[in-house]
Amino acid sequence: MESLRQHFTGIATKYLSRVDATRNSNQHEIGSNAFVRILGDPGQISVFLRGVFLYFSDGAEEPLRATGQLTWYDSRRHQPQRASEYRLYYPDNAVTLRMTEADFCVIAVRPDNTVMIIVTPPGSTSERQLRWLFGIDHVSSDRFQTQEVQGARQVSIVESMILEELGIAPTGGDENWLDVLLQRFGPAFPATAVFSQFARDTCPQNIGDLGSSDAVLMAWMEHEEMLFRTLERYLVQIQLNVGFESVDDFIRVSLSVQNRRKSRVGHALEHHLAAIFTLREMPFGRQVQTENRATVDFLFPSQQAYLDSEYPDERLVMLASKSSCKDRWRQVLTEAGRIRVKHLFTLEPAISAHQTSEMRAHNLQLVIPASLFGSYSDVQQQWLQSLDQYVNQTRQVVWG
C-alpha cells in the first residue's frame, strides 16, 4: 500500500472560533502565521489555491461538498516595518455556511497544493476518524496547530476507506500480481466469492503463523484490497484507452466503478468472516431470513435451530457484518427477534462515544478487529469485542 504522504504533505487543526466561522462580507478569513509551515511563504504576492470543502455530520452517508478559490497572502506585505501577518481567505459556499463555532477543522494540503478544508461537529465519529488518520493527539481552540505528514506512514485498507470518503482514491495495487490475475480471471472481475477465495489462497502470510482470527481476517482483507486495486486499474485503463461513445456512456462506466468499490469491501468482509467461522469449525447459517423478512448475515448454530421454538433463545447468537457502520447499525436491531443481544462486526474505526453509548443502550455489541482498538477511547475498549473474543464467546454460548 502507498503512504499517507502521497496524498497529503501537511495539515493544520483547530476547533473553530466565532471569528473563524463568521462571514466577512462574502468571504471567510482564517489568519495564522503557522500556515507558512504547510503552505509556504507567499512573499510579496497573493497565491491562489484550489480549495475543496467538506462537511461531515454523524448519520449522513455522504459529506457536504463544495469547491472554490483560496487566497493566501501576507496582509502586511506593503508594510515592511511591521511583522508579517498571513491570511487565508475563502469564499462562501454550502460548507462554510454550515460550519459553526467549536466545529473541528482540518486544513489539509495535498501534493498538488490543493487545500482541503474539512469540518465536522466536535466529538463526532468523523472528527475521531480524522484525528486517527492523521495522528492528531491534541487540538486547540485558540490557535491552529500544524504538522507535516510523515512519509513512512502506510495506508491500511481501513484508512483507505476514510480517504475515499474524502474523495481520494488510493491506488494500492502491485503490478507484480497483474499477470497472475489475468491468467486466472482474464480481463474481467469474477464473482466476489470467487475473488475472495483467490485472495485467501494466494495470501503470502502463513495463516497458521498469524494465529488469531483478527490477524487472519485483516491479512486476507489487505491482500484482497491490493489484488482488487491492481486488476481495477488495468481494466479501467482499457476503458479509458477505448474511450466513450457519449457523456451518458462515461457516466454509466464511472458509476459502475464507484458502485463496485463501495459494495466490494462489504462482500469481501462477509466472505472472509464465513471462512474464519468454517476454519474454527463453527456451524452457522448465512443470510438467514427471520421475522418480518429481516435477513441475518450470520446465525449460530443454524436456521433450523432458530426456527425450532423448542430450541433455547439463550443458545442462539447472531452477527451482522458491515464494513462501515455510520447510522446503519440501527438496521441490525430489527433482525433475529429471538436474540436479545445483537452483535455487529465492522471495520469502522473511532466511532464516537455517543454512538457506542446508544449501541449499548439498544443491546447491540460492537465487534471490531483487534488492530482497531487503539482508535477508540480506553472506556470504549473495555466494552468492545475483538473477533477472537466473539468466536470464543459464541462457541461457549452455543456449544458449551
* Catalytic pick among 55, 86, 306, 390: 306
Give the C-alpha distances (Å, rounded to integers) separating 118 from 72, 105, 107, 131. 18, 6, 6, 12
State the Cα–Cα distance between residues 54 and 47, nearest whole angstrom.
22
Other beta carbons less than 10 A from residue 151's beta carbon = 10
If you search the block for the grid coordinates 449522513, which residue do you land on?
60
Task: State the Cα angle at 83 between 81 and 84, rounded to 5°.
Answer: 120
Judging by DSSP bridges, how do beta strands 342-346 and 364-367 pair with one another?
parallel
Sheet arrangement for strand 47-55: 27-31, 86-91, 64-74, 47-55, 115-120, 104-109, 10-15, 145-148
306 included as an active-site residue: yes
State the Cα–Cα distance between residues 305 and 315, nearest whole angstrom.
9
State the Cα–Cα distance between residues 307 and 31, nearest whole angstrom.
64
Q: Give catalytic residues, as residue numbers.
A: 306
